[in-house]
Amino acid sequence: CTSLTTVDLPENLLNLGVSDSASSVFDGSGLTSLTIPKSVSYIEGPISSGCNDLSILVVEDGNMTYKSHGNCIIDIAEHRLIQGCKTSVIPDDGSVLYIGINSFMYITALTDIIIPNTVLEIEEQAFSSTGLTSINIPKNVISIEGNVFKNCSSLREFVVEDGGKELYLSYNSSS
């Protein structure tokens, strides 16, 4: 549904998402912006994987569970970035400790991103099938889970900063 460019979510919407983490609500659509109502208290799975035209992610003020910052959707209590887009700037204010599962998956328009020093973990397939060309992993990152950069055919440079005390890499051989 690449012709879908706008969507109006109801103001009383409580839950948004899909139970299958390999798909997303607006998978591959032509959305350019997405606003999450303040009523949403549960988001399951990625919501905009493959939305390469998406450049604005907003959570309405007053949402007690999620917030937006730098075109990222963040779970406030878990300090987890759950969805990004091609223009995302991951906040460096400590509000993001974890880059969540599938949070940028299939966003081929994402060609670069800065991971701030406040991030501790990058979860499964976070940047899978993106257009990243290089990535710098800060020394404070202690875990990179399976398939984080799977199918990143443009990725040419992977740098881990000196000075880190430990880094756990996991690999999933079945994917």
Question: Looking at residue 100, what is its pLDDT?
Answer: 96
pLDDT in tens, the chain (175 residues): 677 888 889 899 998 886 665 567 788 788 999 999 999 999 987 788 888 999 999 999 999 999 999 999 999 999 999 999 999 999 999 999 999 999 999 999 999 999 999 999 999 999 999 999 999 999 999 999 989 999 999 999 989 888 776 676 665 544 4
Number of other residues whose CB lies within 10 A of the CB of residue 94: 11
> What pTM does this model have?
0.90
Give me the residues paired with residue 144 across strands.
Answer: 122, 169
Structure tokens belonging to residue 90: 């991951």
* DSSP state letters, 27-43: TT---SEEEE-TT--EE
